[in-house]
Amino acid sequence: MRFRSEQHLRHQYEIRAAREKGKRIDCGAYTIWWLLRDLPAGPGPRMAVAASIAAVGPSVHRSRAKRRLREIFRARQGLVPSNCDLLLVARAAVNRWAFAELDRKFVDACARITAAACPAR
């Protein structure tokens, strides 16, 4: 599946809401903040990636971290509830870990999000 433009969290207030009102899952190399939207499902789950200089390092490392996390979301977005907003916050370890390990942590986190969001499933 493509990572379409309507799946991006574009506004600061959306990102802030995910961080302040959402729940947190620590995945080791990155943290996922998630928040269920009250609005109808729409285009599917939305996501933003944050990688700071202090946490990840210079721009080359930050860009690589963001590319890796975006690709994981793109490939596994079907596992995320369609009315969910995600904020992925990268750490320096995201560039050191194997891609398969990052992906496995994301799949585990998606299972936890789905279980919490849809307890009847």
pLDDT interval class at 42 (50, 70, 90): low
Q: Please state the pTM of the whole predicted model.
A: 0.89
Write the pLDDT tens digit of every residue in 95-104.
Answer: 999 999 999 9
Residue 88 dihedral angles phi and psi, to the nearest 5°: -100, 120
User: Based on the number of CB atoms within 10 Å of its own CB, is 19 exposed (0-12), middle (13-18) or buried (19 or more)?
Assistant: middle
Residue 26 is predicted with a pLDDT of 96
**What percent of the chain has pLDDT above 70?**
92
Q: What is the CATH number of the domain that holds 35?
A: 3.30.230.10
**76-100 average pLDDT score:** 94
Domain hosting 73: range is: 5-117
- Tally of domains in the chain: 1
**94-118 average pLDDT score:** 94
Q: How far apart are CA 109 and CA 31, in angstroms?
A: 10
CB 107 within 8 A of CB 75: no
Q: How far apart are CA 37 and CA 35, in angstroms?
A: 6
β-strand partners of 49: 88
β-strand partners of 84: 36
